[in-house]
Amino acid sequence: MPQCEQLHRDLQISWSVFGDQVTVEVAARMELEEYVAFGMSGNPDRPEMVGGDAVLLHRDDFLGYANDINITSYFPCTELLNQKKGVCLDDEVGGIQDYQLMTSSRDDGVSVFTYRRRLQTADDGDIPYEAKGPNMIIWAIGRLDAARRPTMHRACTAWEAVKLTDASTVEFTARLGPDGGPRGYAAITGQPALTGKGWYINGFLAPELYLRRNTEYTFKVEGGASPHDPATYHPLIITDEPHGGFSQLSEAQKSQVRVLAGVDYTQRGDIRPMRGGRLCEWKHPSNLDRRRDADVPTFPEYRNELNLQCESEGGPRDLKIMPNKSWPATVYYNSWTGKNMGWKIHILNEQSDIVALPLRSGAATTYASAVLLVISGALALI
């Protein structure tokens, strides 16, 4: 093709414009469990994921796939108030799949995709490609989850896992914060970080908690109370399964989960979350790039670089629990909205000494975690 650009050592694109269509070839060094996404920025003046319009490209052993995606929130596709938001397939949000995959191949670890799209489509959710002049683009490489949805991962050594074992502690603050990148949530827990966020309990990212039966505990939850954006709405729930995201499960899946705390029921018997309290979130300051999280050697150093930002109105929502003999020995705190944001609670008998269990095998070795790659600057399709 007449035009090409090396965006990264692992990614090159080539393109040509003919009539009202653009043909793009994407060559990426990637695994079969990974994806590459490429498209138009949500802001014409700078690279911005939210509001963006992109194609999600990936392969299995035999076939290649090209899916038109719509990005309305920095969060996996989530249904709230009967509306889907986040990183969603176009046809899930009333749009049209406008990308036509022409060829796909794989050789020596490099996947090559060639696709075509009209410069301007009939889909209101698509961003037009300008045939002449600059086009602000976005791109990303990362892992697919079990449903072959995009997440953001690469391998790195974990920060030290935190275990809150003080028997006198009966109150916990629950706030949101970034997942910590390659050394953070996924590396600590061994679960993929799917949302870019995690629970910060008493200021620590996804610690393990040790609680006693027949003792009352209070979680002061500040996960957001407005269900209009899944990125900022995270009521805390406690269940017997490790992933959370209860609101996104099918009825059959919900029937297999025991919800122990954080919900109540409507008069019709429908389960609903307790309010999440105001939104209080640890955030990167504007002069720090979250793609460099892996450069921070310890969690205390990382947390000290973040700023705590809380809504001015409202306060925390108290979630009171008293584990009894019916509770399993291990339960999990998580989010009603998003998967894989919390971690374990160990439930001990009243007279048991609280002794932290040893770290699971491999907790300080390598796991998949998050990186999001965005090019800065303009790309001219001419």
Domains of the chain: 3-154+371-380 (2.60.40.1210), 159-364 (2.60.40)
- 361 pLDDT band, cuts 50/70/90, is very low
Q: Provide the CB-side half-sphere exposure for 90 (13 A, CA).
A: 21
Output DSSP code: residue 248. G
Q: Are strands 204-205 and 330-335 parallel, antiparallel or unpaired?
A: unpaired
Three-state DSSP class for 295? helix
pLDDT of residue 143: 83
Neighbours of 123 (CB within 10 A): 18
- 340 pLDDT band, cuts 50/70/90, is very high
Beta-carbon contacts of 122 under 8 Å, excluding residues fewer than 6 positions away, are 96
pLDDT of residue 368: 25
What are the residues facing 366 on neighbouring strands?
157
What are the residues facing 68 on neighbouring strands?
55
- 152 pLDDT band, cuts 50/70/90, is low
Q: Does residue 167 surpass a pLDDT of 80? A: yes
- 380 pLDDT band, cuts 50/70/90, is very low
Q: Is the pTM of the predicted complex or chain greater than 0.85?
A: no
- Measuring CA to CA, how many Å separate 196 from each of 283, 330, 341? 11, 25, 9
| Percentage of the chain exceeding pLDDT 70 | 90
Q: Does residue 376 surpass a pLDDT of 60? A: no
The answer to whether residues 192 and 145 touch, using CB atoms and an 8 Å cutoff, is: yes
Three-state DSSP class for 381? coil
Q: What is the pLDDT of residues 111-132, one digit of tens each?
A: 999 999 999 998 888 899 988 7
The answer to whether residues 175 and 280 touch, using CB atoms and an 8 Å cutoff, is: yes
What are the residues facing 13 on neighbouring strands?
5, 26
pLDDT of residue 103: 97
Beta-carbon contacts of 166 under 8 Å, excluding residues fewer than 6 positions away, are 354
- 343 pLDDT band, cuts 50/70/90, is very high
Q: Does residue 269 surpass a pLDDT of 90? A: no
Q: Does residue 283 surpass a pLDDT of 50? A: yes
Three-state DSSP class for 265? strand
- Which amino acid appears at position 301 of this protein? E
Mean pLDDT for the stretch of residues 64-70: 94
Q: Give the DSSP per-residue string, 18-56.
A: ETTEEEEEEEEE--TTEEEEEEE-SBTTB--STT-EEEE
The answer to whether residues 214 and 322 touch, using CB atoms and an 8 Å cutoff, is: yes
- Closest by Cα among 284, 210, 238, 232 to 85: 232
Question: From the centroid of its chain, how far is CA 351?
Answer: 39
Question: From the centroid of its chain, how far is CA 17?
Answer: 35
- 157 pLDDT band, cuts 50/70/90, is low
- 367 pLDDT band, cuts 50/70/90, is very low
Mean pLDDT for the stretch of residues 246-269: 92
pLDDT of residue 364: 28
| Percentage of the chain exceeding pLDDT 90 | 55
- 354 pLDDT band, cuts 50/70/90, is low
Cα dihedral 367→368→370→373 (10° resolution)? 130
CA 303 – CA 175 distance, rounded (Å): 13
- Measuring CA to CA, how many Å separate 268 from each of 254, 264, 271, 276? 17, 11, 9, 22
| φ, ψ of residue 132 in degrees (nearest 5) | -130, 140
The answer to whether residues 136 and 50 touch, using CB atoms and an 8 Å cutoff, is: no
pLDDT of residue 356: 53
Beta-carbon contacts of 300 under 8 Å, excluding residues fewer than 6 positions away, are none
Q: Does residue 334 surpass a pLDDT of 60? A: yes
Structure tokens at 246: 């209860």
Q: Does residue 382 surpass a pLDDT of 60? A: no
Q: Does residue 379 surpass a pLDDT of 60? A: no
- 352 pLDDT band, cuts 50/70/90, is low
H-helix segments, 6-160: none
